[in-house]
Homo-oligomer: A and B are copies of this chain.
Amino acid sequence: MIDLFVIKVGGNVIDNPVLLQSFLKKFADVKGKKILIHGGGKIATRIGDKLGIESKYVDGRRITDAETIDVVTMVYGGLVNKQLVAKLQANGCNAIGLTGADANIIPAYKRPVKEVDFGFAGDIRVEDVQAAPLKALLDAGLTPVFASLTHDGQGQILNTNADTIASSLAIALSKYYSVRLIYCFEKKGVLHDASNDDAVINLIDRVIYKELREDNVLTDGILPKLENAFAAIESGVAEVLIGHADDVQSNTTDTVAGTLIR
């Protein structure tokens, strides 16, 4: 019996006002305890551009220099996070906006420099996550909403991948709850056929996963997501679900519209 939903909503949803509005309304109506984790979308890049700060990427990953960490702290931790909170409040959801620095919930460490210096990028050790204060907030009837930021415990905010924050929180909270970790994006789930958006695979377990890989059904982009999903399950998360932001309601019930992984 699932008693906590840890829900990550992707940047493409944040960037789309119509989809976001509809998602927030549906998320607010999800029954039971829930946590939202949001990416930042393209707003940080847009504001960084206006401030004359160039966005730098290596292999699709943002390089977070000193100017960039200030921009993402402002935009993810301030603008996006507080607008989401205000809109959830308007929809009757008692949201509380947080970063990993708040209540020291997600201590992280600056990624060591190897071939690439990612700057103020924070990596998480799941065993460091402080689940107890988060449980206290949930027990007080609040819905925590996390921006994808952590801190190093020495006073520095760090930029951390939102998917990683979602899975780390889901794993850490599994000691208190039976958790379904839900990744919401702009597709309905893992597809049998990449050209058919409705060809959703409703259930994947290790056996089915092996068959799908042998049949070359899965696209490259979905493989790391599924690997992460199985890693979360091996670390205590009851179920992982990949689905459309618009299906968040049904994806918190037993009759899922997306892809359930367990």
Cβ contact within 8 Å between B78 and A79:
yes
Q: Is residue A27 within 8 Å, beta carbon to beta carbon, of the partner chain?
A: no
**A149 contact from B82, B90, B151, Cβ within 8 A:** B82
The residue in A75, A78, A89, A151 that gathers the most chain B C-beta atoms within 10 A of its C-beta is A78
What are the interface flags for A56-100 relative to B under an 8 Å C-beta threshold, 1 for contact and 0 otherwise? Answer: 000000000000001001111111011101110110001111110
The residue in A96, A102, A156 that gathers the most chain B C-beta atoms within 10 A of its C-beta is A102
Q: Is residue A201 within 8 Å, beta carbon to beta carbon, of the partner chain?
A: no
| Cα of A104 to Cα of B86 in the assembled complex, Å | 9
**Cβ of A98: which chain B residues have Cβ within 8 Å of it?**
96-97
| Cα of A103 to Cα of B47 in the assembled complex, Å | 28
A35-51: which have CB < 8 Å to B? 47, 50-51
> A74-B75, A75-B78, A78-B79 known; A99 and B97 CB under 8 Å?
yes
| Cα of A16 to Cα of B48 in the assembled complex, Å | 25
**Cβ of A149: which chain B residues have Cβ within 8 Å of it?**
82
> Closest approach, in angstroms, between the C-beta of A52 and any C-beta of chain B?
7
Cβ contact within 8 Å between B151 and A140:
no
**Cβ of A154: which chain B residues have Cβ within 8 Å of it?**
90
> Closest approach, in angstroms, between the C-beta of A82 and any C-beta of chain B?
5
> A74-B74, A90-B153 known; A103 and B96 CB under 8 Å?
yes
| Cα of A85 to Cα of B98 in the assembled complex, Å | 11
**Cβ of A82: which chain B residues have Cβ within 8 Å of it?**
73, 77-78, 99, 101-102, 149, 157
| Cα of A73 to Cα of B52 in the assembled complex, Å | 20
Cβ contact within 8 Å between B77 and A73:
no
**Cβ of A102: which chain B residues have Cβ within 8 Å of it?**
82, 85, 95-97
Q: Is residue A113 within 8 Å, beta carbon to beta carbon, of the partner chain?
A: no
Cβ contact within 8 Å between B74 and A142:
no
Measured CB to CB, the nearest residue on chain B to A132 is B140
Q: Is residue A1 within 8 Å, beta carbon to beta carbon, of the partner chain?
A: no
> Closest approach, in angstroms, between the C-beta of A18 and any C-beta of chain B?
15
> Closest approach, in angstroms, between the C-beta of A39 and any C-beta of chain B?
15
10 intermolecular pairs with C-beta atoms under 8 Å apart: A74-B78, A74-B79, A75-B78, A77-B78, A77-B82, A85-B102, A85-B151, A89-B101, A94-B104, A136-B136
Give the interface of A toward B (CB within 8 A). Answer: 47, 50-52, 70, 73-79, 81-83, 85-87, 89-90, 94-99, 101-104, 133, 136, 140, 142, 149, 151, 153-157
